[in-house]
Structure 1
Amino acid sequence: MTTLSVVMITKNQEWNIARLIESVLAETATLDTKEIILVDSASTDETVERASRYPIRIVRLHTDQRLTAAAGRYTGYRYTQGNFVLFLDGDMELYPGWIDKALPIIQNNPDIGVIVGHRIDLPKDAGEQDKPPLSQADSDSVTEIDHGGGAALYRRSVMEQVGTFNPYIYSDEEPELCIRIRHAGYRACRLEHTIVYHYTDPPEETSTLLLRRGRNLYIGYGQNIRFHLGTDILWPYIRERGFGCLPGLVLVTGLMVVAHALVTHKWVYVQRLFVLTLAAVLGDAYRRGNVQETFYSIIQRGIMLEGTIRGFLLPPMNPDQYPCHVDVVQWVP
């Protein structure tokens, strides 16, 4: 039986694919049994062509099905058989030493369903000279957490029990799976060691929010809520990931107050609501010490609310019915 499967997912990431693959090959070189697969979501650049230069397996998803990051993970899971599955995004680079530390920990602790690590965010155009020195503070200690992100090592037997990624979900598929894992009695943990370099857009800029919105990366909140209606996962998910719910409640309350004023011609409650809202905004700005951060937060919550509504309105689909149409580009033993 294969010990480790590494699943890399990509979409038009020719700019980083060599760096990602080379880091994976280097960090798994000492493993006796492993398999490395790249699942590409119909890239239109040279991602697949560049990846084909390396001794890895490559499958490319067809465009006649919904293409999401979750679909890439789902497909990679189906096309591998390792006892443990490491998922990585196409804009990442595996950090030296993480696998050597994390794999024995999850192997020796059967109650751990998934283990992650710290992430170092860097600009997309960062080079070797831009990386911080390798940390001497990284340790073997493990902290229990609620959920992780795109770089994570899962126990296959646990995924077989609780289900793998929902391929139809546009975003937030990793936390949703972690909630299911914890609900089944397993732990989600973080090794206090960096797992990846993550090459990404500046996270605290409005332009990044709009780019993410354009890629449907806020729809998953609503999709997950609707998918889990009537299940035991619904309230844990809303409690931990319902970022759009509170803004939605505030919006509904405001609309009700305005509607009441229009009917009764009494605007005192509208005035009070305005004063309370203004006080909340000013209080948040004072707490943060930065007005710009407050307005960024308001825009972010608004976009999350809009995405939650859009996602909730999408009809839920059965993950087991995902067609998983692929071309096998390259298959190495």
Structure 2
Amino acid sequence: MSNSPFITASIKTFNESQGIEKTIDSIRRQLAAYPHEIIVADSLSTDNTRELACAKGVTVVSLRHPEDRCCGVGHQLSYLHSQGEFLLLMDGDMTLEDEFIESALAFMQANPNYAGVAGRVAMDEGSNYEFKSRKQRINKIYPLGDCDHLGGGGLYRRSAIEKIGYLTHRGLHGYEEAELGIRLHQAGYKLHRLDVPYFSHTSHVMSTLTMLRYRWKSRFLSGPGELLRSAWGKPWFRDTLKITRNEAIFTLYWLLVFAMLLSGNGTLFGLSLLPLILFIGLKTVKNRSLFAGLHSVLNLTAFSAGLIRGLLTPLPDPMQPPENDIVSHQDAKQ
């Protein structure tokens, strides 16, 4: 067996002590037949995620500065330290399914014009609106066949990533996989989701309001605005508008409502609220729950505020590496 890794598995983590060992074990089991390396890219976890990962004998790299934490920085950090011909992207709360690697490699080797491939996703029963909604829309979020981007990660061809300059945008707090997909399509590549299991995912157990507060504090809700800002002046800006259209429409709507409120015209303000009432009604009927309708509005409103925040946030150069360190087992204990 060659010492040079054929596959690099990248696991991005932030406080994933509950699942990181299971994630590593599932990947190691599926990659046993291939020369491989496993890299855990940690965003300065405050629990013992790094210690647990180091004890598993994998490479652990960590950010130096907490202000660099975001969804997009993890896999880019792994990529900077990686050697594999193929890059497997996972999160620390995922478990790699048995059938994926063999099927994914066969597809990629037979289709050189594809830059990445993923598979079906299994989710547990969520305890908050975000994850319950995500499970209800799982076939829409993770569509089979050719697709615009691979939500949740996938197996990527290194040569394709080298062609577009970087793996994931180190400044995006969300939508980093969408941004990656857009750049790959611009470079002439395709993406595909196979009808085979890829990973199972453990949902957050926070309540709906607690989850929204967490998403705001972590700046995840700024993802749509940051995606738009990252694409400003680039050929794929229109593609980012397509991806963020729901958040953008809701943002424009709330700006209109606010303008009507400031106008002092009660009639116009009342009329401006009619689309909101209709939207809640439609969501209530669709989900057979008034709470689901209200939660949907609350969620979109939070993303609207995040979109504006993201648009106003300067982004780092995605080609510049974040400051980072390779973590030893002794370092992880400190």
**Normalising TM by the smaller chain, what interval?**
0.7 to 0.9
Return closer, same or farther for 1:160/1:268 CA change in 2, 3 Å cut-off. same
Q: Which residue of 2 aligns with 1:115?
A: 117
Q: 1:75: which partner in 2?
A: 77
In the alignment, structure 1 residue 319 sits paired with structure 2 residue 322: no
CA deviation digits over 1:221-246, x for unaligned, max 9?
Answer: 11111121111111111112343211
Distance 1:277 1:199, change over 3 A: closer
Q: Which residue of 1 aligns with 2:255?
A: 252
| 1:287-306 Cα shifts (integer Å, max 9, x gaps) | 33321111111011001011
Is the 8 Å Cα contact of residues 176 and 224 (structure 1) preserved in structure 2?
yes
Q: Do the aligned partners of residues 275 and 35 (structure 1) sit closer, same or farther apart at CA in structure 2, a change above 3 Å counting?
A: closer
1:151/1:195 contact within 8 Å kept: no
Instruction: Show the 5 A alignment for 1:57-96.
Output: 57-63=59-65, 66-96=68-98
Does 1:172 pair with 2:175?
yes
1:225 is paired with a residue whose SS is: helix
Deviations along 1:5-53, whole A, 9 cap, x unmatched? 111111221111111111111101111x222111222222222222222
- Cα pair distance change 1:328/1:211, threshold 3 Å: closer
Cα pair 2:148 2:181 within 8 Å, conserved = yes
2:102 equivalent in structure 1: 100
Letter in structure 2 aligned against 1:171: G
Correspondence 1:89-238 to 2 at 5 A: 89-122=91-124, 143-163=145-165, 164-201=167-204, 205-238=208-241
User: SS where residue 200 of structure 1 aligns?
Assistant: coil
Amino acid at match of 2:52: R
| Structure 1: distance between partners of 2:178 and 2:207 | 21
- 1:212 and 1:274 mapped to 2: Cα distance? 26
Other-structure match for 2:32: 29
Per the TM alignment, residue 124 of structure 1 is displaced from its structure 2 partner at its CA by 9.5
Q: Aligned pairs, how many?
A: 309
Report the counterpart of residue 130 of structure 1 in structure 2.
Answer: none
The answer to whether the 8 A contact 1:62-1:325 is kept is: yes
Counterpart in 1 of 2:136? Answer: none
Tell me the amino acid that sits aligned with residue 323 of structure 1: P
Hey, what's the Cα distance between the residues in 1 that align with 2:259 and 2:66?
Answer: 43
Q: Cα offset for 1:123? A: 6.2
Which 5+ residue runs of structure 1 have no aligned equivalent?
126-141
1:284 is displaced (CA, Å) by 3.4
Letter in 2 for 1:162: I
Structure 1 match to 2:288: 289
TM-score (norm 1): 0.85
* 8 Å Cα contact 2:72-2:168 kept in structure 1: yes
8 Å CA contact 2:11, 2:39 repeated in 1:
yes
How far the C-alpha of 1:94 sits from its partner, in A, is 0.8
TM-score calculated relative to the size of structure 2: 0.85
Once superposed, which parts of structure 1, at least 4 consecutive aligned residues long, lie more than 6 Å away?
Answer: none
Larger radius of gyration: 1
Unaligned runs of 5+ in 2: 128-143, 330-334
Higher helix share: 2
Match of 1:47 among 46, 49, 53: 49
Q: Specify the alignment match of 1:131 in structure 2.
A: none
User: Is contact 1:243-1:304 (8 Å) kept?
Assistant: no
